[in-house]
Amino acid sequence: MITLYSYPELFGVADNNGYGLKVFAFLKLTGVPFLHEHLFDASQAPRGQLPYIVDDGETIGDSDAIIAHLVRKYRLTIDDGLSSAQRDTDLMVTRLLDDLYWVMSYSRWKDERYFPAFSAALRREHPALTEEGIRKAQEFNFQRYYFQGIGRYSPDAAYARGLADLRVLANLIPPSGYVHGAEPASIDAAIYGFTANIFFYDIDTPLKAFVSSNPGLVRHCTEIHAAIGSS
Residue 79 maps to a domain: no
- 117 and 6 in a common domain: no
User: What local confidence, expressed as pLDDT, does residue 58 receive?
Assistant: 95
CA-CA distance, 119 to 6, in Å (whole number)?
Answer: 19
DSSP 6: E
Question: Digits of tens for pLDDT over the chain (231 positions)?
Answer: 999 999 999 999 999 999 999 999 999 999 999 999 999 888 888 988 999 999 999 999 999 999 999 999 999 999 999 999 999 999 999 999 999 999 999 999 999 999 999 999 999 999 999 999 999 999 999 999 999 999 999 999 999 999 999 999 999 999 999 999 999 999 999 999 999 999 999 999 999 999 999 999 999 999 999 999 865
DSSP E strands in 75-205: the ranges are none
DSSP-assigned beta bridge partners for residue 220 = none
Overall number of domains in the chain: 2
- Residues 118, 35 share a domain: no
State pLDDT tens for residues 5-14.
999 999 999 9
Residues 51 and 90 in one domain: no
**Whether residues 17 and 110 fall in one domain:** no
Backbone torsion region of residue 56, taken as left when φ is above 0, otherwise alpha when ψ lies between -120 and 50, otherwise beta: left
Nearest CA among 71, 88, 70 for reference residue 79 = 71
In this structure, the answer to whether residues 176 and 223 fall within a common structural domain is yes
Q: In angstroms, rounded to a whole number, what is the distance separating the alpha carbons of residues 173 and 171? A: 6
* Neighbour tally for 64: CB within 10 Å: 15
Give per-residue pLDDT as tens, 152-177.
999 999 999 999 999 999 999 999 99
Q: Which domain holds residue 41?
A: 2-74
Residues 111 and 131 in one domain: yes
pLDDT score of 230: 62
Half-sphere exposure (Cβ direction) of 94: Cα atoms closer than 13 Å: 18
Q: What's residue 210's pLDDT? A: 98
Question: At 36, which CATH number?
Answer: 3.40.30.10
Q: 195, 217 in Cβ contact below 8 A?
A: yes
The verdict on 54 and 91 lying in the same domain is no
**Domain finish residue from 74, 101, 132:** 74
Specify the pLDDT at position 41. Answer: 84
